[in-house]
Chains A and B, each alone.
Chain A
């Protein structure tokens, strides 16, 4: 009885990570296309306003909401530590997504750092 339950929880955590990554990619893409000004709170707020007029942001927001709903469900079911340890693979998704969709240059140093963080979070969450 326990096995299919566990499988469901794991798949849901992977799904949350994927949705969250897609949301971040959409947000970053919109910000890249926008001339985001950061000098002073007024400029920042007006940039946020223009950002909120971008359809892509809402697409990202939908994925974010989806991710949040699944995450809330997972938290009500699974152990917090277990959920967080698996959620750390989210960092790998982000790195791959940044390279593929945002054309960011992820060099050797950044990969080592990212993988080190994933190992660290897994250890922290499981200990």
Chain B
């Protein structure tokens, strides 16, 4: 477990996991938006919600992707620290806006650009920290 260096290969796998993760979120949002107002106080209502969600193909596509992510994610975790892998997985927060700018020509508010910059700076710091031999503290 001494091979904790972050390589380009691991980074690419992390980005791939992020893409899949985005797909999962999309599928789950789709399966949860059944048009029924989920209400815990009414059992009948909760059951209808559960039924609609369980029979949604989106839920199952999402679940299969979850297992795929589990395999890739475990492999990544065997190589690097958890406190490096998780922050680096925030790549999707940059990926989605960038894709929507380049391919969908969406306008992005200034505040979001500031946020994206913060995330990029954070990712650079975190990835550098895994290359250092000893932590500074």
Identify the A interface with B (CB < 8 A): 24-25, 27-28, 31-32, 34, 36, 38, 44-45, 47-48, 51, 68, 71-73, 75-77, 80, 90-91, 94-95, 97-99, 102, 104-110, 112-127
Contact = CB atoms under 8 A, between A and B. Distances in A.
Most buried by B among A47, A51, A71, A113: A113
A116 to B, nearest CB: 3
Given A114-B122, A121-B90, A124-B119, A104 B74 contact: no
A35 B38 CA distance: 44
- Where chain B touches its partner, the secondary structure class is helix
Nearest first, the 3 A-B pairs at minimum CB distance are A113-B125, A107-B135, A123-B115
Contacts of B16: none
A15 to B, nearest CB: 15
Contact of A120 (B1, B74, B122, B136): B122
B129 A107 contact: yes
Given A44-B75, A105-B134, A112 B32 contact: no
A1 B85 CA distance: 40
B128 to A, nearest CB: 6
Nearest to B91: A117
A97 B53 CA distance: 33
A68 B124 CA distance: 29
A92 to B, nearest CB: 10
Given A44-B75, A127-B111, A117 B137 contact: no
Nearest to A96: B83
Nearest to A72: B32
B61 to A, nearest CB: 15
B74 A98 contact: no
A46 B106 CA distance: 44
Given A102-B82, A124-B116, A72 B53 contact: yes
Contacts of B126: 109-110, 113-114, 117
6 contacts: A36-B74, A38-B75, A47-B75, A104-B81, A113-B129, A121-B90
